[in-house]
Amino acid sequence: MKITLWALVLALLVGLTVPLGVAVILTTAVIPAAYQAALTSCLTIEGEPGRPTPATPTVEPDPGDCTPATDELPSGPDGRCPPSGSSAERGLTPNALRALRCVKQRFPWIRYMGGVGSRPRGYVSDHPAGRAVDFMIPAWNTKAGRARGWEVAHWLQTHAKELRVKYLIYDDRSWRAYNPSAGWRGYRYPGPNPSGASQRHLNHVHLSVYG
């Protein structure tokens, strides 16, 4: 009788403690690991010296929701943002010129940029007036390239006030400095061929500035 009673008590203890142990393991190991992976994917790019390589998250987060990088802003064209040597500088307004040079200084891997240029009739753009810059993203159609693009976009978002940013467009999304609480919203090009990579801003980050 005593043996049977002890057996019942032992079985009850095992039945209660095993699920609890499993729950503890899942809570302390599996969930934080997935969360950390999601955070890591919001960091910088693969293969860049001195920067972490993002892990592959179980559920990939929306890059537009990642927290922007907060590293120091260069001082401007006359300080740590020297002339880029790019022909895209020609005809830009002072604010656009400053932003181009500071982005190039912060992201030296950007090789090509676009500045003043015409746009289709009826399409409102800051490019003809010299208030916009396009930063072309190398290997934009790869995961690493897309991460690079979001790094640039988030850096500009972080420093929108200092750089007089009006709005940003990248990866089918747009962010308006005059309505920051709206976050990154869906974007569709209003002109011809709206499904093209350039029109969707998949291959470059568009910056428009005030003045």
pLDDT for residue 65: 53
Residue 103: per-residue pLDDT: 95
Q: Which pLDDT tens digit goes with each residue over 101-130?
A: 999 999 999 999 999 988 777 677 899 999
The pLDDT tens digits of the residues spanning 172-183 come to 999 999 999 999
pTM of the model: 0.67
By C-alpha distance, which of 135, 140, 15 is closest to 86? 135
Contact in structure between 211 and 198 (CB atoms under 8 Å): no
pLDDT of 209 reads 97
Question: How large is the C-alpha radius of gyration of the chain?
Answer: 25
Q: What is the pLDDT of residue 211?
A: 85
pLDDT given for residue 60 in this prediction: 52
Q: Is 87 left (phi over 0), alpha (psi -120 to 50) or beta?
A: alpha
Average pLDDT per 10 consecutive residues for the chain, totaling 211 residues = 49 46 36 36 35 39 54 51 92 94 94 89 85 97 97 96 96 96 94 92 97 85
Integer Cα distance of 173 and 165 in angstroms: 16
